[in-house]
Amino acid sequence: MRLEFINRVKEKDVLGKSILTCDGQVLLKTGVELTNNYINKLKELGVFYLYVEDERLEDVNIEDEKLLELKQESMKSMSNIMSNLYNCNEKGLRKSLVGIEDMVNYIIELGDVNKSLYDIQTYDNYTFIHSIDTCIMASFLGVSTGYDKWQLREIGIGASLHDIGKTKIPLEILNKQTKLTDEEFNEIKNHPLYGSKILKKNVIISDAVIKIVEQHHERIDGRGYPYGLEGKQITNYAKLVCICDVYDAVSNDRCYRKKFSPNDAYELILSGSGSNFDQDLVCNFKNTFAIYPLGCGVKLSNKIEGYVVRQNKGFPDRPIIRVLCDGDTGKLIPAYELDLLRMPNVVITGLI
């Protein structure tokens, strides 16, 4: 399995990981043979890259079928969750939150972080998938931070609902492709308050979850919003979700900007340690998530190109690379592997 930029995908390539719609339905399923029509349509939908099957990398498995199933169910339940929250339907809300809880429980027991964070997204399915992906990422970070099952449930629900206040923001502001006016930006900055107000009407939503929604844009140095809280004034759960929200947001294309490169998105989190983000959580982030996903093609500073086949835990920028082609001629050669942890003078300089 390899991760390929959409412009390099060819007709008859076989899709290696399913693509979902905004309501959790499968748009294209793993194993589909791609046609030019499919490829062009995916480009129109804003797809930037795809996973495709490659027999040279057949041992690189990035599809967690059970987690995909749980993610689909969670995405399908998001509309019901929103409806039940607005209508203060306690019984319906409990039922609709089960999908989120099941997904978090699976991550606690069996989840593999390297198979969980790199789904293919389109512009029209961003909102729900961002909420669910933030939930998944926050759950993994919560596990590595040492939270128990009940605490992880709170974190997962809070992360999945963190942007619910945006349902109160006009779409012409949310989807605006040009610079926001001061008035429009101030309205965007109200979404944590709108979300908190919605949740407070529902007695089964805990104060811990409400604080996540209310504080996920606060920053350690006090330069966040809506209250300008700092340090210990911000709950630990909100600090954790904040990191995952920012990382997932900048890692994906939006209507008004292109995604960050993997190393730039990662560096944004690391560089914010102690100012934007809690230092201990950033350390846990570094020990939990890798920069370059499995199957990703990379260029090395020694001019060699290859694909990420394994990660070195705690060293997010030093994966194990499988080399398939001669760097000078581009011709296929017998595959061999390079462990960048053992090659301190070699670094990844870009993607292929």
The pLDDT score that the predictor gives to residue 121 is 55
The pLDDT score that the predictor gives to residue 257 is 54
**Distance in angstroms (rounded) separating the CA atoms of residues 275 and 323:** 39
The pLDDT score that the predictor gives to residue 86 is 92
The pLDDT score that the predictor gives to residue 261 is 78
Q: What is the pTM of this model?
A: 0.87
The pLDDT score that the predictor gives to residue 116 is 60
- Whether the ω angle into residue 226 lies within 30 degrees of 0, i.e. cis, is yes
The pLDDT score that the predictor gives to residue 4 is 86
The pLDDT score that the predictor gives to residue 3 is 87
Tens of pLDDT, residue by residue, the chain (352 residues):
888 888 889 999 999 888 877 666 788 888 999 999 999 988 888 777 889 999 999 888 877 888 888 988 898 898 899 999 999 999 999 999 999 999 999 999 987 787 666 555 555 555 678 899 999 999 999 999 999 999 999 999 999 999 999 999 998 998 888 888 999 999 999 999 999 999 999 999 999 999 999 999 999 999 999 999 999 999 999 999 999 999 988 887 665 556 677 788 899 999 999 999 999 999 999 999 988 888 989 999 998 999 999 999 889 889 999 999 887 777 889 999 999 999 999 999 988 8
**Distance in angstroms (rounded) separating the CA atoms of residues 138 and 327:** 39
The pLDDT score that the predictor gives to residue 69 is 86
The pLDDT score that the predictor gives to residue 299 is 92
3-state secondary structure the chain: CEEEEHHHCCCCCEECCCEECCCCCEEECCCCECCHHHHHHHHHCCCCEEEECCHHHCCCCCCCHHHHHHHHHHHHHHHHHHHHHHCCCHHHHHHHCHHHHHHHHHHHHHCCHHHCCCCECCHHHHHHHHHHHHHHHHHHHHHHHCCCHHHHHHHHHHHHCCCHHHHHCCHHHHCCCCCCCHHHHHHHCCHHHHHHHHHHCCCCCCHHHHHHHHHCCCCCCCCCCCCCCCHHHCCHHHHHHHHHHHHHHHCCCECCECCCCHHHHHHHHHHCECCCECHHHHHHHHHHCCCCCCCEEEEECCCCEEEEEECCCCCCCCCEEEEEECCCCCCEEEEEEEEHHHCCCCCEEEEC
